[in-house]
Structure 1
Amino acid sequence: MAQYQTAGIRAGTRAGEIDQGLRAHMNKVYGVMSIGMLLTGAAAWAIAGLATTNDPSLAVAQMGNGQYLTSIGSALYLSPLKWVIMFAPLAMVFAFGALLNKMSTATAQLFFYGYAAMMGLSLSSIFLVFTGASIAQTFLVTSIAFAGLSLYGYTTKRNLTGMGTFLMMGMIGLFVAMIVNIFLQSPALMFAISAIGVLIFAGLTAYDTQNIKNTYIQHAQMGDTEWLGKAAILGALQLYLDFINMFMFLLQFMGNRE
């Protein structure tokens, strides 16, 4: 009888340790993601400031809203360099996935921060297209929606695995539609892409949060502490991408153009 009681105490203690570790793990995921968001916002705002000017003497090209592009802005947005900036974050994501197992946790975290800064450079053009007030408003709405969806994913007892498979298929279709619309330039298709994009990444926010939680529990039970550090960075990247994409699609609805 005493042996069963001891085993029960040990099991309860182990469960308590995993639960405490899970809270610390999720705090790290959200913390790393938040720093990444700050880096992205700061980089986008700073680059946009360097790329535009109100002084015609410093201008290289004139924009439709009365502002001018500097030489930096011309190089970033009008030269072939714009394609490198556009696709560099995508290439970095694939590189991160391929090299994660070979990286240390510290290296993976630095890579993520570098990626977040590059994403800021890629997104800096939104300050040329949309008003600052509408960008801030959309960011606030996205933050509230993200918090609610992530909380749902963390607390729900429903298994979201099936939904995740469906959403990943939808994301692939969405990406193909976006490439097609680069050539078609259809406003109706762009509206549909934006609406579907918001729904897909809203669902992925809940799914990814639950997946991060379940992955931690599985690896913690096996005592795989080395992987858990990297898993926190990977989880931060997943939620970061969900937030950024949901923000960009919402901006198509809520953003007031310059």
Structure 2
Amino acid sequence: MSVPVDVRRRGRPAPAPGPVPWVAMYHSVGDPTDDPYRVTVTPDRLDAQLRWLRRRGLRGVGVAELLAARARGEGGDLVGLTFDDGYADFVTDALPLLDRHGFGATLFVLPGRLGGDNAWDPLGPRKPLLTADGVRHAAAHGVEIGSHGLTHVDLTKADDATLRAEVSESRALLAELTGAPVAGFCYPYGTLDRRAVDAVRAAGYAYACAIDPGPLTGPHALPRLHVGQRDTAVRLLLKYKLHRLRRRPVAGAEAVR
């Protein structure tokens, strides 16, 4: 279930850097046979991965809920689940599994490509994206809706006008579509620089997800862990344990509430 996110601190001092949140990155849920980017997991594999989380006493939630819990000094049993691009199979194949396990998630969508396909991928099959009704359906089920930009472009290569459209216009369109504020952003391709991060912050997002943002790591550049078809229980355990060792602390992450 999505929750309000408020970044105001009401005069309190900023907290010390805390351990980085554990946020899993998914994309499509379906047939991974023709998948040169390895971004597709089968429903059976996703089900097994969600069951693995439950066996370890963990619960998957959207990123806003995860960060709000951390701001309260809670959430030790929570992990973030994110699904990029807004593929149509999220509603047909991922959402029923999330509901079965009582998990939430954040779905990062492209309002400029609703009802289209993944035309930005030069290789691999074309996959349909959610329509506006599909996005509203996911939101009605408690899925947090975030922006993945307007059309999926590399923000580090965008001119000023394109950067504003991808960041600000996408947020406004999604808020109008869902009738709810949009707290989160996700950098297309995981690429970012200081200019992109500043634009996302200025557009009013409370947080943003990347992949491995390095020295830019913070509330507007949260690292995530790719989870794919090959990730069995053993691989997930290794990734879970190594994640906090490999990632730098997130200054101010607990300030997102």
Please state which structure has a larger fraction of its residues in strand.
Answer: 2
Give the structure-1-normalised TM-score.
Answer: 0.26
Give the structure-2-normalised TM-score.
Answer: 0.27
Bigger CA radius of gyration:
1
Please state which structure has a larger fraction of its residues in helix.
Answer: 1
